Structure 1
Amino acid sequence: MPTVLLTGFEPFDTDPVNPSWEAVRQLDGMKFGDHVKIVARQLPCAFSTVGQCLAQMLDELHPAMVIATGLGPGRSDICVERVAINVNDARIPDNLGEQPVDTAVAVGGPAAYFSTLPIKAMVKAMREAGIAASVSQTAGTFVCNQLFYLLQHALAGTAVRSGFIHVPYLPEQGVAYGKPSMALAAQVEGLRVAVCAAWETELDAVEVGGQVS
């Protein structure tokens, strides 16, 4: 049975929960399409260990598709990322207290990797389902971007499509920080729709998804 690996992060900074994990864990074991199964796994928010954990999951599961997710503080919708860059530049320490500044994710690696998912089709499908979504041009420079880069690096040259999605705060977090948020049920449904669209779409949609600045 083909497997889609869907990952979320553990809580970080001072938050007791991470919406990315709270959402993907609800999709664990879900089957769709031609007997495709979602397997949800949690990853550590730590520069020095996330890559090893990802590699172990890839070796164990041999997934047919991988979609990683993370929290995007301040984002108002579900953001499908376009590109990962070969830079770590942490504004805050990670969960192990490490704070790399201006270091390479992979020494000697390409400057960037693009998502191999049909990002425009995924956004279109979520919007048609009534879920706020958009294409994002930056995954930041924290552990989310590092994971996205390492994921694309590990699967480069294979037939396994992969990419990254950022989700907003949950409503209670949004109230606490004065930031945009999205209900957990909407995040779960948005990710479900995005995964199905990614699996079912061979050629990406031609949709406007760029930004002026």
Structure 2
Amino acid sequence: MAKNLRHFVTLDKAGNAPKSEKVVPDGFVAYWSSLPEQESLVSLLETNNIPARISNDCGTHLCNQIFYSFLHWREIHKSEMKVGFVHIPVLPEQVIKFWSESPFMPMDMTRKALLLIISKQIQMVDSKVLAV
């Protein structure tokens, strides 16, 4: 779920830290992901020995802002485009330097996870096109 809220607890690269601001001033409070079959994506990743889970919170920092912006665009344009968000864990070396409490994943595993997710989405689109 993406929230119409920018509330940064850390500065962005430009030094900004908005507090309790809306992403879109007249936008809805929140939007749900429109990505289909999310549970099957978790199963697909776990079958490939990649840890995964569904989360209904992408925070209130830049991840949420991007996700909300895409879902808002989808809504105002009445698009059938599927929009989802995959939170990618940090790299092990980032945990050591910056985020000692953060989940992490090696780059090769992250690449494999993204390849599986994208391939599955393409398969779903292709199967719908062939069914028509």
Is TM-score (shorter-chain normalized) higher than 0.5?
yes
- Measured in 2, the distance between the counterparts of 1:95 and 1:172 equals 20
Q: Does 1:165 align with 2:53?
A: no
- What amino acid does structure 2 have at the position aligned with 1:197? K
Compare the two structures and name the one with the higher strand fraction: 1
How many Å apart are 1:185 and its aligned residue?
A: 0.2
Deviations 1:101-157 (A, max 9, x none): 001111121111111112222222111121111101100000110000001111222
- What amino acid does structure 2 have at the position aligned with 1:160? M
Structure 1 moving runs of 4+ over 3 Å: none
In structure 1, the residue matched to 2:117 is 194
Structure 2 length-normalised TM: 0.83
Deviations 1:173-194 (A, max 9, x none): 2233433321100000001101
In structure 1, the residue matched to 2:130 is none
Deviations 1:52-79 (A, max 9, x none): xxxxxxxxxxxxxxxxxxxxxxxxxxxx
1:198 counterpart SS class: helix
1:97 counterpart SS class: coil
**Consecutive unaligned residues in structure 1, runs of 5 or more:** 1-82, 203-213
2:87 counterpart SS class: strand
From 24, 33, 46, the counterpart of 1:106: 24
**Consecutive unaligned residues in structure 2, runs of 5 or more:** 126-132
Structure 1 length-normalised TM: 0.53
Residues 121 and 197, structure 1, Cα contact 8 Å, conserved in 2: no
Q: Does 1:136 align with 2:55?
A: yes
In structure 1, the residue matched to 2:7 is 89
In structure 1, the residue matched to 2:45 is 126
Compare the two structures and name the one with the higher helix fraction: 2
- Measured in 1, the distance between the counterparts of 2:42 and 2:18 equals 32
- What amino acid does structure 2 have at the position aligned with 1:120? E
- Measured in 1, the distance between the counterparts of 2:34 and 2:105 equals 26
Deviations 1:18-44 (A, max 9, x none): xxxxxxxxxxxxxxxxxxxxxxxxxxx
State percent identity of aligned pairs: 29
Higher Cα Rg: structure 1 or 2? 2
1:88 counterpart SS class: coil
- Measured in 1, the distance between the counterparts of 2:81 and 2:3 equals 20
1:167 counterpart SS class: coil
